[in-house]
């Protein structure tokens, strides 16, 4: 069961003044996953009982939003989720980070949670020496078969001599929202980084399209343990001692608007909630208007993810 405010600290600033922001029951989360075609055995949903309340907490001090870290998904949960569509190739952070590495003259990269090595493939074509960390045996095997150096262990256990003097670049794409201790994992990455090196992260953007999907089960435990905004990168920088060199967001695509609004209607009906009255064609109309009006050039950073480049100074 989700812990109460008295037993939790903010996952970013360690603050104790927490306010309830939202909640769903374990039963509701299971129903939402079922609508998306996913069923999980009880062993994959530890702590998420039918009547347990999954509470989203907001830190009054720094504004960070998070769940009880004890609800983070276990290996069985992610095995059940593992599929070709779970890992999205060609994400915006891939090309963006490769361009940053070229501009900064970086020579190698360690991709944490590298999956089958899609980002590492792109990094290698740009001249970077590639290393990955992947705990999923199937993903690690695929990435290793492509010729990348892959570690199947936690960050603190990566050999110190893997890159003498430290790595130039460490990437954590769509990782921080899953882990109970985002500050700790960034500090662990920094310990493997050379002086002047970079850590590049990307996380789902809570104020982008995801604000229209309050019932998306992927945004709740055991899948996600935290929700991120651009301000949270400043707190993360302060807590880790890393310099926030750059941050921003993905461009919002018209196709993503249509998908999000259609999914919102689906998930609202599962919970018996009534979405705001609107024509059934509204998602298609909204997507068409956004594409044709050029709004993406007016507000170009409301896409699915935000990113940050931190530097070890």
The answer to whether residues 120 and 61 belong to one domain is: no
The residue written with tokens 């929202």 in the block is 177
Residue 180 lies in a domain: no
DSSP string for residues in 155-198? GGGS-TTSSTT-EEEEEEET-GGG-S-HHHHHHHHHHTEEEEEE
**CATH code where residue 150 lies:** 3.40.50.150
Residue 239 lies in a domain: no
- DSSP structural state of residue 304: S
The answer to whether residues 13 and 47 belong to one domain is: yes
**Amino acid 303: pLDDT:** 78
What is the number of structural domains in the chain?
Answer: 3
The answer to whether residues 61 and 109 belong to one domain is: no
**Amino acid 223: pLDDT:** 97
DSSP, collapsed to helix, strand or coil, labels residue 64 as coil
Residue 62 lies in a domain: yes
Q: Is the peptide bond before 69 cis (omega within 30 degrees of 0)?
A: no
**Amino acid 278: pLDDT:** 55
**Amino acid 283: pLDDT:** 55
| Helices 230-240 + 182-191 axis angle, to 10 | 60
- Contact at 8 Å (CB) between 242 and 190? yes
Rg value, the chain, Cα: 20
Range of the domain at 287: 254-297
**Amino acid 77: pLDDT:** 94
The answer to whether residues 9 and 68 belong to one domain is: yes
Instruction: Read off the tokens for 156.
Output: 């603190």
**Of 124, 158, 192, which one is at a domain's C-terminal end?**
158
DSSP, collapsed to helix, strand or coil, labels residue 278 as coil
The answer to whether residues 116 and 152 belong to one domain is: yes
Residue 227 lies in a domain: no
Residue 237 lies in a domain: no
Sequential pLDDT tens for the chain (313 residues): 456 677 899 999 999 999 999 999 999 999 999 999 999 999 999 999 999 999 999 999 999 999 999 999 999 999 898 765 666 777 999 999 999 999 999 999 999 999 999 999 999 999 999 999 999 898 999 999 999 999 999 999 999 899 999 999 999 999 999 999 999 999 999 999 999 999 999 999 999 888 889 999 999 999 999 999 999 999 999 999 999 999 999 988 777 788 888 898 899 999 998 655 455 565 556 555 555 566 556 655 677 899 999 999 9
Give the whole-angstrom CA distance, residue 222 versus residue 12. Answer: 19
State phi, psi for 112 to the nearest 5 degrees. -85, 125
Q: Name the residue among 13, 61, 63, 11 with its Cα closest to residue 221.
A: 11
DSSP string for residues in 207-246? TTGGGG-TT-GGGSTTT-SEEB-HHHHHHHHHHHT-EEEE
**Amino acid 46: pLDDT:** 92
Residue 16 lies in a domain: yes
**Amino acid 208: pLDDT:** 86
The answer to whether residues 54 and 113 belong to one domain is: no
Residue 304 lies in a domain: no
């Amino acid at each position: 069961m989700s812990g109460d405010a008295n037993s939790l600290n903010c996952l970013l600033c360690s603050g104790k003044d927490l306010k309830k922001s939202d909640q769903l029951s374990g039963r509701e989360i299971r129903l939402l996953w079922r609508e998306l075609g996913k069923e999980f055995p009880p062993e994959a949903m530890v702590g998420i009982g039918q009547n347990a309340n999954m509470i989203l907490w907001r830190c009054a001090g720094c504004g960070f939003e998070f769940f009880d870290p004890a609800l983070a998904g276990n290996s069985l949960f992610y095995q059940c989720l593992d599929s070709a569509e779970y890992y999205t190739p060609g994400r915006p952070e891939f090309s963006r980070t490769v361009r940053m590495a070229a501009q900064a003259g970086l020579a190698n990269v360690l991709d944490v949670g590298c999956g089958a090595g899609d980002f590492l493939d792109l990094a290698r074509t740009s001249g970077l020496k590639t290393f990955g960390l992947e705990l999923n045996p199937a993903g690690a095997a695929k990435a290793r078969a492509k010729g990348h150096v892959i570690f199947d262990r936690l960050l603190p256990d990566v050999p110190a001599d893997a890159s003498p003097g430290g790595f130039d670049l460490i990437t954590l794409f769509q990782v921080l929202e899953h882990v109970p201790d985002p500050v700790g994992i960034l500090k662990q990455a920094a310990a493997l980084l050379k002086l002047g090196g970079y850590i590049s992260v990307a996380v789902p953007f809570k104020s982008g399209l995801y604000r229209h999907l309050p019932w998306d089960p992927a945004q709740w435990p055991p899948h996600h343990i935290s929700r991120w905004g651009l301000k949270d990168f400043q707190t993360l920088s302060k807590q880790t001692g890393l310099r926030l060199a750059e941050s921003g967001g993905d461009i919002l695509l018209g196709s993503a608007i249509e998908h999000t609004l259609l999914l919102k209607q689906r998930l609202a009906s599962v919970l018996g909630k009534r979405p705001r009255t609107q024509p059934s064609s509204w998602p298609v109309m909204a997507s068409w208007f956004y594409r044709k009006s050029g709004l993406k050039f007016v507000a170009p950073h409301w896409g699915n993810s935000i990113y940050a480049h931190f530097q070890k100074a």
